[in-house]
């Protein structure tokens, strides 16, 4: 299955956007895990902006950046949102409230707890009426997301925005599901090469599980990759940043591997 990348968005510790981070991912600059910077969501109305939680702000930030880099309008782009954990802080606070005698849950907390909350905020912010899918596949959430987005782009012959995001749980849930990093990345995938194409992706499933998962050479970036399921996208991002031809292997669902053969010569 072949698709093309037009735009990328990125937010993580020490990774403040795709353009600012490409040198780090390519290995030409050192990586430093600086505090995460998440810009406000100016597209949201004031009330929704106040209610937006970290997962929503992350997903919107990378989605807006990816579309801007692709020169696409959200009104014409379907979307796939994928996350292992959704908003862990919100879920944690709801469970704490349910453990009290009053068991009173804030309506805002409740609507932010659903897994497709970022997708809903996205449609409000962009006024998009295009189809949107929200996925979760534990540690393979990014692989599931890019596979779903690529299938839609290839079969429906339309541009697709993929946004992957994760934030850690707070204690005591963190002891059960230990995520150590906050991270988000977005890709605009299209079925045909365009003037804005920066990479070609050929995606295949390895059911034999004979391929080794691709890891990051830099220890700090590897810790980030393993610290959040959305950050499993880092090897693909790094390969695109380096340019040329490469192959990236991602852990898929049920033990399968997702093999992505890419050519990023178009962005050079």
Tens digits of residue pLDDT in 220-251: 999 999 999 999 999 999 999 999 999 999 99
Mean pLDDT within 114-123: 90
Burial of 15 (0-12, 13-18, 19+ CB in 10 A): buried
Specify which of 28-42, 111-125, 147-161 reaches the highest per-range mean pLDDT. 147-161
Contact 186, 65 (CB under 8 A): yes
Torsion angle, alpha carbons of 104, 108, 113, 116, to 10: 150
Give domain limits for the chain.
2-196
Could you read off the pLDDT of 7-38 as tens digits, one per residue? 999 999 999 999 999 999 999 999 999 999 88
In this predicted structure, the answer to whether residue 266 has a pLDDT above a threshold of 80 is no
Q: What is the pLDDT of residues 155-179, one digit of tens each?
A: 999 999 999 999 999 888 899 999 9
Q: Is the pLDDT of residue 211 over 60?
A: yes
CA 38 remoteness from chain centre: 14
Task: Write the class of the CATH domain 2-196.
Answer: alpha beta
- Characterize 22-41 residue by residue with b for buried, 16 or more Cβ atoms within 10 angstroms of its Cβ, and e for exposed: bebbeeeeebeeeebeeeeb
Task: Report the chain's mean pLDDT, rounded to a whole number.
Answer: 92
């Amino acid at each position: 299955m072949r698709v093309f990348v037009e735009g990328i968005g990125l937010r993580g510790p020490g990774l403040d956007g795709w353009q600012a981070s490409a040198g780090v991912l390519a290995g030409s600059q050192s990586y430093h895990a600086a505090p995460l910077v998440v810009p406000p969501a100016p597209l949201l109305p004031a009330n929704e902006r106040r209610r937006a939680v970290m997962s929503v702000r992350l997903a919107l930030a990378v989605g807006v950046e990816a579309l801007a880099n692709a020169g696409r309008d959200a009104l014409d782009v379907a979307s796939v949102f994928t996350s292992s954990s959704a908003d862990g802080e919100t879920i944690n606070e709801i469970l704490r409230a349910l453990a009290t005698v009053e068991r009173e849950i804030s309506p805002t907390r409740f609507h932010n707890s659903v897994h497709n909350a970022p997708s809903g905020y996205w449609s409000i912010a962009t006024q998009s009426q295009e189809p949107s899918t929200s996925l979760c596949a534990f540690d393979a959430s990014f692989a599931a997301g890019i596979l779903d987005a690529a299938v839609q782009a290839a079969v429906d012959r339309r541009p697709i925005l993929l946004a992957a995001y994760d934030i850690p749980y707070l204690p005591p849930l963190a002891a059960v599901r230990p995520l150590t990093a906050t991270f988000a990345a977005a890709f605009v995938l299209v079925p045909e090469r365009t003037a804005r194409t920066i990479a070609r992706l050929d995606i295949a499933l390895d059911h034999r599980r004979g391929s080794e998962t691709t890891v990051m050479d830099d220890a700090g970036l590897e810790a980030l990759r393993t610290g959040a399921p959305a950050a499993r996208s880092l090897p693909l991002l790094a390969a695109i940043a380096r340019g040329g031809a490469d192959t990236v292997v991602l852990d898929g669902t049920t033990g399968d591997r997702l093999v992505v053969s890419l050519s990023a010569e178009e962005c050079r």
